[in-house]
A and B are shown apart, each in its own frame.
Chain A
Amino acid sequence: MYCFISNTCFNFNALSNKMKSQLHKYEVDAFSPKEKIFSILSIEVEELPLPKEEITYSTPTYDIYQLKDRLIQVQRVNDELIGIIEYEDNKALIYMKKPSFLKEYLLMEYAYTYFMQKEHNAILFHSSSIEYKGHGIIFTAKSGTGKSTQASLWKKYKDVIQINDDKNMVVEEDGILYLYGNPFSGKSCIDTNRKTKLDFIVFIYQNKDNTIRELKGKEALILLMHQIANVSFMMSKEKWNYMTDLILKVKNCYFGCNISLDAVNTLENYLKENSYGIEQ
């Protein structure tokens, strides 16, 4: 299935129906022959093809084998081996023993992120995003805080488009950061095939009353670091630094919020007061 996601051409072969329907939102008929296409192909196997070579390095969730012509990622979830991704040039092969949507989703998300971060100045940002009056706004916090809840409140009370409910691809183009919808939007599967300028980052935490202030320096950096892709085999130190420097220049606030219309209004007023180009 040909998909055009975040200004990039992909050829997917998904096995699970739910993954197929997610990808379907980004489907195109064909690409022109001169386009560079990244292939991400799922394969069901009897036995996972574990590499015989030495592990190059391990993290708590995956092992990396850097071989001469390809790179192999052996992926675990809670110590259970769930699949293998083999990257070679513009192709990623995903091997799964018993394919499921959850396994396929996770592995495809890795492969998509790998090609995006390799090909562009891009970084995956754990966040729920909306477009409001042409402005891209990101809600971010650790899981369970209420990113999606805030985005859905805005959806309920204001005229917004939800771009991606869980993982936003932030891409730099001519010095400007954009948010791209992509099929990896978490439990809700709320995402739109759309691009919008990243204008505002809202770091949220739960609070009885709605309270808001600007975040500075170290506070912002540390909160941000926990929610963006880290330096890894798919992100160089240099690119990470470049992207985080740009992201930290985006206007932000630290928002203690509850689940109410008042939360939406508090943030909306803050955006207006700080003249972010959002008119009445």
Chain B
Amino acid sequence: MELNNNFILKEVAGEIMLVYQNEKTVDFSKVITLNEIGKEIYLLIKEGKEENEIVSSLLLEYEVRKEVLKKDVHDFIKKLKELKIIND
């Protein structure tokens, strides 16, 4: 998975956001808020981790059933693709 590098991660007063910008502008209409886990998944993708690796990594950290986590991670990644935060 490859991230669209036109989105940058911004933390403001504990809130985590992705802001769309390219060399010419910042698009004010594209600010996406992430929660802590969202941020973690985003950063794992950035490290080059694949979906199953992300699930294994999060399983070590959170007390959650694997099937539930698997589905959540899958849905989240699907959403990032829809928003073009992950290049297809």
Question: How far, in Å, is B29 (CB) from chain A's closest CB?
Answer: 9
The A197-235 residues at the B interface (CB cut-off 8 A) are 216-218, 220-222, 225-226, 230-233
Q: Does B33 contact A (CB under 8 A)?
A: yes
Please encode chain B, from 2 to 15, with 1 for each CB lying within 8 Å of some chain A CB and 0 for all others: 00000010101111
Say whether B21 contacts A231, CB under 8 Å: yes
Please report whether the interface of chain A is mostly helix, strand, loop or mixed according to DSSP: helix
The B2-47 residues at the A interface (CB cut-off 8 A) are 8, 10, 12-15, 17, 19, 21-26, 28, 31, 33
Q: A59 touches which one: B10, B19, B22, B24 (CB < 8 A)?
A: B24
The B41-80 residues at the A interface (CB cut-off 8 A) are none
Residues of A within 8 A of B26 (CB): 225, 230-231, 240
Q: Give bound CA distance, A231 to B21, whole Å.
A: 8
Residues of A within 8 A of B21 (CB): 231, 237, 240
Residues of A within 8 A of B28 (CB): 222, 225-226
Say whether B10 contacts A237, CB under 8 Å: no
Q: B15 touches which one: A218, A225, A231, A245 (CB < 8 A)?
A: A218
Who on chain A is nearest to B8 by CB? A241
Interface residues on B, range: 10 to 19
With A221-B31, A222-B31 in contact, do A231 and B25 touch (Cβ < 8 Å)? yes
Say whether A220 contacts B12, CB under 8 Å: yes
Q: Give bound CA distance, A59 to B13, whole Å.
A: 33
Say whether B8 contacts A218, CB under 8 Å: no
Q: Does A153 contact B (CB under 8 A)?
A: no
Say whether B13 contacts A248, CB under 8 Å: yes
Who on chain A is nearest to B17 by CB? A218
Question: How far, in Å, is B87 (CB) from chain A's closest CB?
Answer: 18
Residues of B within 8 A of A245 (CB): 10
Please encode chain A, from 140 to 159, with 1 for each CB lying within 8 Å of some chain B CB and 0 for all others: 00000000000000000000
The listed residue with most B CB atoms (<10 A of its CB), out of A220, A221, A248, is: A221
Q: Give bound CA distance, A217 to B33, whole Å.
A: 9
Q: B8 touches which one: A59, A226, A233, A237 (CB < 8 A)?
A: A237
The A121-146 residues at the B interface (CB cut-off 8 A) are none
Who on chain B is nearest to A237 by CB? B21
Residues of B within 8 A of A240 (CB): 21, 26
Who on chain B is nearest to A214 by CB? B13
Q: Give bound CA distance, A241 to B20, whole Å.
A: 11
Say whether B13 contacts A231, CB under 8 Å: no
Residues of A within 8 A of B13 (CB): 216-217, 220, 248
With A221-B31, A222-B31 in contact, do A237 and B23 touch (Cβ < 8 Å)? yes
Say whether A218 contacts B31, CB under 8 Å: yes
Q: Give bound CA distance, A115 to B14, whole Å.
A: 33
Residue pairs across A and B with Cβ atoms less than 8 A apart, 27 shown, are A59-B24, A216-B13, A217-B12, A217-B15, A217-B17, A217-B33, A218-B12, A218-B15, A218-B17, A218-B33, A221-B12, A221-B17, A222-B28, A230-B25, A231-B22, A231-B23, A231-B25, A232-B24, A237-B8, A237-B21, A237-B22, A240-B26, A241-B8, A241-B10, A244-B10, A245-B10, A248-B13
Task: Sort A-B residue pairs by CB-CB distance and give the 4 closest, nearest first.
Answer: A217-B15, A217-B12, A248-B12, A225-B28
Residues of A within 8 A of B (CB): 57, 59, 216-218, 220-222, 225-226, 230-233, 237, 240-241, 244-245, 248
